A = this chain, B = another copy of it.
Amino acid sequence: MFRSLVEVDTPALIIREEVAHRNIDRFQKHCDYNSLKLRPHVKTHKCVHFAKAQIAAGAVGITCQKIGEAEVMADGGIDDILIAYNILGDDKLGRLRSLAERTKALSVVADNDVVLGGLSRAFETASQPLKVLVECDTGGRRCGVQTPRGAIALARSISAHPGLGFGGFMTYPAIGGQRDVLGFMKRARAGVEECGIACPEVSSGGSPDMWHAHTHDGTVTEYRAGTYVFNDRSLMERATCSLEDCAGRIVATVVSVPSESRAIIDAGSKILTTDLLGLAGFGHLVGHPQARITDLSEEHGIVQCGPEDRFEVGEQVNIIPNHICVVTNMLDHAWLERKGGEMSVLTIDARGKLT
C-alpha cells in the first residue's frame, strides 16, 4: 500500500490524492442522499486545491475558523464562506468588511452581544447585511450560548442590529452528542419562528460523527466536517475510517537504533505535534503493529520496539498521525502523490493563519 520513497527527504507529509478525492466523494454522496448541505472545514487541508475539489464535488461552500484562512480561500476563488468564530477588534472587523465585499456569501457566528456590537458597527454602512449564526453550546463546552432561550434572545438581537441578518443556529457538538443537538436546536428554531424570524440554517459538524450526520429528522440542514478529507489515526481508532482511507502519512527516517528495544526517527513534535486526542502514543507506525511512538522531542521520535521489530538506521517508515489537521499547520509544503506515484509539491496555502 505504501511505496518506499527514497526520493523524499524526511520528515515529510505525503497526501495521496486519489484517497483524498475518494473521501471527498464518499461523504458528499452521503450528504446528498440525505439532503444535507455539506460545508467542509478547510482547517484540515488548508489548501485551495482541496477546497475547490470539495466545491466541485457538491459542497455548498466552506467553513473557516480565522479571517486569514478565509482571505486565502477567497484569493483562490472560493466565494461562499462561513467563519465559525466570534470576531472581535477593529483590525479583524475591517478585514471582515473587505472580505464581504469580494465574496458572494460570507457569514460568521456569534455567541454574545459584545461580538454583535462590533459586527454591527463594521457592517451598518455595508450594501448587504452580514449573515450571523448563533453559536450554541450543545454539550461541547467550548463557545456558545448555553440554552435555547439564550439562543433565541441572541437571534432576536441579531435581527435588531443594523447591518446584520440572522443566519440560523450553529453548533460544534461533543463527540457522540448529536442527540443533544436535536433537542436544543428544535426549541431554538421554534422560538425564533414564533417571533416571526425565519431560521435559514441549522448547522452541525464534526468528522467523528459524520456517518450519523443525517439522523436528525430534518432539523439539521448543514454539516461541517474537516478531518474526513484526509482522515487520521484518531478517526481510525474510532472506526470512522480504515487505514486505507487515510490520505495523509508522514515519512520519517530511522536515524539511530541505540538499543534492541529503542529506535529513533527524525519525526518529532515539529511535524507530528504532541496532540494525543485521547490516544496512547504519537502516531500509528504502518507495518509495525507492536511498535509504539512513546515520546517526542522537537526533532526526535522515540520508538519502543516490539519483540519482532527490527529497525535499521537509514530505513524509512510511514506514520499515520494522531491528528492530521495540526500536522498540516506545521508545514509550508507537503507532497501530493498522484495515482501513478508521481509526486508534486502541495503548498499549504493557509498554514499558520492565526488571525
Mark contacts of A252-288 with chain B using CB atoms, 8 A cut-off: 1 yes-contact digit, 0 otherwise: 0101111100101010011101111000000000000
Q: A313 interface residue, CB < 8 Å from B?
A: yes
Which interface residue of A145, A255, A331 has the most chain B CB atoms within 10 A?
A255
**Taking the nearest CB of chain B, how far is it from the CB of A324, in angstroms?**
12
Residues of A contacting B: mostly = loop
Q: A180 interface residue, CB < 8 Å from B?
A: no
Residues of chain B within 8 A (CB-CB) of A262 are 141
A330 to B273, CA, bound (A): 11
Q: A218 interface residue, CB < 8 Å from B?
A: no
**Taking the nearest CB of chain B, how far is it from the CB of A291, in angstroms?**
16
- The listed residue (B85, B274, B312, B332) touching A273 by CB distance below 8 A is B274
Residues of chain B within 8 A (CB-CB) of A253 are 88-89
The quantity of this chain's copies bound in the complex is 2
Q: A137 and B275: CB pair below 8 A?
A: no
Q: B9 and A300: CB pair below 8 A?
A: no
A112 to B12, CA, bound (A): 23
Residues of chain B within 8 A (CB-CB) of A111 are 256, 258
A14 to B243, CA, bound (A): 41
Residues of chain B within 8 A (CB-CB) of A302 are 141-142
Residues of chain B within 8 A (CB-CB) of A292 are none
Q: A157 interface residue, CB < 8 Å from B?
A: no
- The listed residue (B10, B256, B300, B329) touching A298 by CB distance below 8 A is B329
Mark contacts of A136-150 with chain B using CB atoms, 8 A cut-off: 1 yes-contact digit, 0 otherwise: 010001111110000
Q: A258 and B326: CB pair below 8 A?
A: no
A17 to B269, CA, bound (A): 27
Residues of chain B within 8 A (CB-CB) of A355 are 9-12
**Interface size, chain A (Cβ < 8 Å):** 57
Query: A307-355: which have CB < 8 Å to B?
Result: 312-314, 325-326, 329-332, 352, 354-355
Query: A231-260: which have CB < 8 Å to B?
Result: 253, 255-259
**Taking the nearest CB of chain B, how far is it from the CB of A163, in angstroms?**
19
Q: A258 and B146: CB pair below 8 A?
A: yes
- The listed residue (B88, B145, B352) touching A258 by CB distance below 8 A is B145
**Taking the nearest CB of chain B, how far is it from the CB of A45, in angstroms?**
13
A112 to B65, CA, bound (A): 46
Q: A331 and B313: CB pair below 8 A?
A: no
Mark contacts of A61-103 with chain B using CB atoms, 8 A cut-off: 1 yes-contact digit, 0 otherwise: 0000110000000000000000001101101100000000000
Q: B143 and A255: CB pair below 8 A?
A: yes
Which interface residue of A92, A270, A271 has the most chain B CB atoms within 10 A?
A270
Would you give 22 A-B contacts (Cβ < 8 Å), ordered by A? A9-B355, A11-B355, A43-B298, A66-B299, A85-B255, A85-B299, A86-B255, A88-B253, A89-B314, A112-B257, A115-B313, A142-B264, A143-B256, A143-B258, A143-B264, A269-B326, A270-B326, A271-B354, A273-B273, A273-B274, A330-B354, A331-B354
Q: Can you name 15 extra interface pairs (CB under 8 A) apart from A271-B354, A298-B326?
A: A9-B355, A10-B89, A12-B354, A12-B355, A86-B256, A89-B253, A111-B258, A114-B313, A114-B314, A115-B255, A142-B264, A146-B258, A270-B352, A298-B329, A331-B354
